[in-house]
Amino acid sequence: MVDRRDFGSWLEGPRARTTPGRWPGEQLGLPERGPGSIAGFGIRLVAVLIDWVVALFIASGLFRVPLPFTAQHTSGADSFITLGVFGVITLLLVGTLGFTIGHRVMGLQVRSLSGTGRVMPLQALARTVLLCIFVPAVIWDRDGRGLHDKIPNTVIVRTR
């Protein structure tokens, strides 16, 4: 269950994160750096941008959604189609493999913090829905986990 204490670190501001000798993921039992450590914001952003571009091309091919760099007019419905494709790709790949195309390219993996480390289907569904809402993805705690990872009890770690 998520309660107010889970969000204290981001509500308290950046000073809460500068505890000497501590690193993101230490409380979760993850290493400070290298494989298995918490992935930083920048590398995760690049991964999601890669996934969004893949979703744009799939939406363009299957549903004739115009690509953003073309001169064709796009509607709001086109954005929702692309978001739906992005959600389906994320749900299927994270739920089965533990990573999306962007995660794989950037050397990342989604892991469950409960049980074996493998993301269960309900965790993948909850994570994908929250990621598509976007707001939970930009609110994170001292371990660098967004609400879309905190609520389903998952974490994005480096694989290399």
* Rounded alpha-carbon distances, angstroms, from residue 106 to 69, 140, 156: 24, 20, 11
Number of folded domains that form the chain: 1
| pLDDT band at 68; cut points 50, 70, 90 | confident
Q: Rounded to two decimals, what is the model's pTM?
A: 0.82
What's the whole-number average pLDDT of the chain? 86
Residue 123 lies in a domain: yes
Half-sphere exposure of 66 (CA within 13 A, CB side): 10
Closest by CA position to 33, among listed 41, 24, 42: 24
Residue 26 lies in a domain: no
Closest by CA position to 93, among listed 78, 108, 114, 77: 108
The predicted structure's pLDDT at residue 74 = 66
Cβ(110)–Cβ(99) below 8 Å: yes
| pLDDT band at 19; cut points 50, 70, 90 | low
Residue 116: φ, ψ to 5°: -85, -10
Residue 131: is its pLDDT beyond 90?
Answer: yes
Cβ(160)–Cβ(107) below 8 Å: yes
132 Cβ neighbours under 8 A, 6+ residues apart: 83, 86, 87, 90
Q: For residue 154, give the 3-state DSSP assignment.
A: strand
Residue 103 lies in a domain: yes
Residue 33 lies in a domain: no
Q: How far, in Å, CA of 29 to CA of 143, rounded?
A: 11
Residue 65 lies in a domain: yes
Task: Give buried/exposed letters for 72-101 (b at 16+ CB in 10 A, else e).
Answer: eeeeeebeebbeebbbebbbebbbeebbbb
Q: For residue 111, give the 3-state DSSP assignment.
A: strand
Residue 88 lies in a domain: yes
| pLDDT band at 92; cut points 50, 70, 90 | very high
Report which of residues 144 and 124 the model is more confident about: 124
Range of the domain at 76: 41-158
Residue 11 lies in a domain: no
